Structure 1
Amino acid sequence: MLRFATTVLLVAFSGFGVQAAPVEIVTAEAVKEARKVESFDLRADRTGLDYRVFLVRPVEPPPPGGYPVIYLLDGNATVPMMETVIGPNPPDPYGSAVIVGIGYPIDGPFDVLRRYRDLTPPTPPEFIPPSRDGASVIETGGRDDFLAFVETQVIPAVETRLPIDRQRRTLFGHSLGGLFSLYVLYTRGDLFQTYVAADPAIWWNGQGILKEQAAFLDRTARAGVAPGTALLIETSGKLVERPLPPTEAERLKRLRAGQTGREVAATLATVPGLRLAFHDFVEESHGSMLPLAVADALRFAFGRTPD
């Protein structure tokens, strides 16, 4: 259910609750040509939870088949990053991209507890890491509700506002969002054509995603994937340890053991017809790679493989 819509804003991102880069003074004529952001809140039909959707409208007219669209999870944080990459005078073809951020009605960049719920399968307590504050209760198991919300409410809301090319949809997620991107590819691969999984949390739930991966591999072994399906997996190279008591630190280390995006990419290389790319940010951490991965998502959505 649509609850309210805010006024269209120039891309200054003051309303996103994240710090933007310094903005230069521009002429009135230049302002007229700036990409614009609007935001609106949606209440999920299945759960009654509220979300904030950020929609960036291109200035240029749509291509004959409609605009390509990139859906970004953690939209409060990732939409400003994407618009910084695209810039006020984007080179072709990036100016034609519609950017959609799926986020939360908050002032900050991340709603950590909500994203745990939205991006994960039901997870036994023994597989749930300690919360960052040591006190919050982490709820899991909402990924199918969230996927239904994206499919039945967010995508239609975007496509009633702008002419969209339904054969050029991209989904980007980082960490648990990257895990969710893989889950969508494995179970609903027709919903998007391009998937980006940045440092996906393969370890979550005892590497439970590998079961969906095995079913996906079995299903696509002969027929392959739909034409045009593409996947970019990126990983970080530097581990930044969270300050935790020794017993909790050891437990977190055990939970995070096992396969990473690198091994998953190697396995998926056997899928017929899948345009697959892998990139390792050797000098970046899990957090510092995020804006770089967002930039790569834009390029990959237009058929360009990261360096």
Structure 2
Amino acid sequence: MLRFATTVLLLALSGFGVQAAQGGTVTAEAKTEARRMERFDLRADRTGLDYRVFLVRPAEPPPPGGYPVIYLLDGNATVPMMESVIGTEPPDSYGSAVIVGIGYPTDGPFDIPRRYRDLTPPTPPELIPPSRDGASVIETGGRDDFLAFVETQVIPSVEARLPIDRHRRTLFGHSLGGLFSLYVLYTRGDLFQTYVAADPAIWWSGQAILKEQAAFLDRTARTGVAPGTALLIETSGRLVERPLPAADAERLKRLRSGQTGREVAATLATVPGLRLAFRDFAEESHGSMLPLAVADALRFAFGRNPD
């Protein structure tokens, strides 16, 4: 999966019409007929941690209300995937989408230690899965710091650069990113209008997200959701086991038990006013579904349910 994402990044910059800027703001005079990507780093005020933001500017003028915008977590990997879907001759109105990847200052497609911290609640040690190398310490609990960074720094930085339709914001996340997307919907549902949770890690920290879900259900049973709120949940069906010692493999299996995105989608079907869609990629693994979910996120952001 890492090799695939790296390859897609190179293709996106060279073969799909996205021109890369070296940094800074691209002026209107500098725009060409191709979609154009700039990258800039931001330091989070609350934590002092550095992030890399990937901003893809449409070639066409903004619609009357401003550009729709799709924020992608794990932006190093997911932005090139999204741009490969949009392509050089975007279908329908997809070419008007501003794509924003929230990533990390690394040449790789993922920063695994950082995403553990950014996308999770404080997690008791006994509920943290074994690290990939069996030795690294997994730091958790930074989701509120990360959410504050997205709200108070990333979004304003994007909206200072381009005219954005603030009623057409989408948030996409996969795995722990999908868990984070649900957390934002449950606790700050007004921040975005469209949410995509691809194979969300509902199991994390003993399924702690279900507590926020219960509060969300109680609140929306009385008030509903804001008009236009939409959620797409997608799941994978093929399990690929990580090579681990037997004891660690058994512990990981226990930790990952319980509800999945499928059960969550069924529960949320009762929420008044929520446009909800669900898709199961039965033949795909947790990793191989990612580019397919990114493609569905684009369609869903423009009002189309997945096929």
What's the TM-score, normalizing by structure 1? 0.92
What amino acid is the match of 1:55? Answer: L
Counterpart secondary structure, 1:237: strand
**Structure 2 counterparts to residues 61-76 of structure 1, below 5 A:** 61-76=61-76
For residues 11 and 238 of structure 2, the distance between their equivalents in structure 1, rounded to whole angstroms, comes to 26
What is aligned with 1:260? 260
**Equivalent residue, structure 1, for 2:11:** 21
State the partner residue of 2:296.
Answer: 296
Taking the aligned partners of 1:18 and 1:137, their CA distance within structure 2 comes to 30
CA distance in 1, matches of 2:11, 2:283: 23
The structural deviation recorded for 1:33 is 1.3
CA 1:24–1:45: 2 relative to 1, 3 Å: closer
1:155-188 residue CA offsets vs partner (Å, 9 max, x unmatched)? 0000000000000000000000000000000000
> In structure 1, what residue type is equivalent to 2:207?
Q
Please state whether the residue corresponding to 1:296 is helix, strand or coil.
Answer: helix
Trace 1:199-218 onto structure 2 (pairs within 5 A).
199-218=199-218
Indicate the SS of the match to 1:39. Answer: strand
Post-superposition offset of 1:17: 8.4
Contact 1:299–1:305 (CA under 8 A) maintained in structure 2:
yes
- Post-superposition Cα deviations, 1:72-94, rounded to whole Å, max 9, x if no partner, equal 00000000000000001112210
- List per-residue Cα deviations over 1:139-161 (Å, max 9, x = no partner): 00000000000000000000000
Q: Which moved more, 1:219-228 or 1:169-178?
A: 219-228
In the alignment, which residue of structure 2 is the partner of 1:153?
Answer: 153
* Structure 2 unmatched runs, 5+: 1-5, 18-30
Instruction: Give the C-alpha shift of residue 243 in structure 1.
Output: 0.5
1:5-32 per-position Cα deviation (integer Å, ceiling 9, x unaligned)? xxxxxxxxxxx78653395599xxxx93
**Counterparts of 1:79 and 1:217, CA distance in 2:** 32
Q: Which residue of 2 aligns with 1:163?
A: 163
How is 1:101-250 mapped onto 2 (pairs within 5 angstroms)? 101-250=101-250
The C-alpha deviation readout for 1:102-144, integer Å capped at 9, x for no partner, is 0000000000000000000000001000000111110000000
For 2:94 and 2:276, locate their aligned partners in 1 and report how far apart those are by CA, in whole Å: 21
Cα gap change, 1:49 to 1:24, in 2 (>3 Å): closer
* 1:34 CA drift (Å): 1.1
| Consecutive unaligned residues in structure 1, runs of 5 or more | 1-15
Q: CA RMSD in A?
A: 1.5
Identical aligned residues as a percent = 87
- The 8 Å contact of residues 17 and 108 in structure 1, kept in 2 or not, is answered as no
Equivalent residues of 2:70, 2:170 under 8 A apart: yes
Q: Which amino acid aligns with 2:305?
A: T
- Matches of 1:48 and 1:17 in 2, distance apart? 31
SS for the counterpart of 2:137 is: coil
Report SS of the residue matched to 1:80. helix
Moved over 2 A (4+): 16-26
Change (3 A) 1:24 1:40: closer
Q: Equivalent residue for 1:86?
A: 86
- The separation in 2 between residues aligned to 1:54 and 1:222, in whole angstroms, is 39
The answer to whether the 8 Å contact 1:204/1:255 transfers is yes
Paired with 2:93 and 2:270, the residues of 1 have a C-alpha distance of 31
Amino acid at match of 1:167: H
Compared CA separation, residues 274 and 257, structure 1 to 2 (3 A):
same
CA distance in 2, matches of 1:85, 1:135: 38
Amino acid in the other structure paired with 2:189:
G
Instruction: Decide whether the 8 Å contact of 1:18 with 1:108 is kept in 2.
Output: no
Q: Do 1:18 and 1:109's aligned partners in 2 also have CA atoms closer than 8 Å?
A: no
Instruction: Deviation per CA, 1:210-236: give whole Å up to 9, x if none.
Output: 000000000000211000000000000
TM-score of the pair, normalised by structure 2: 0.92
For residue 279 of structure 2, what is the aligned residue in structure 1?
A: 279
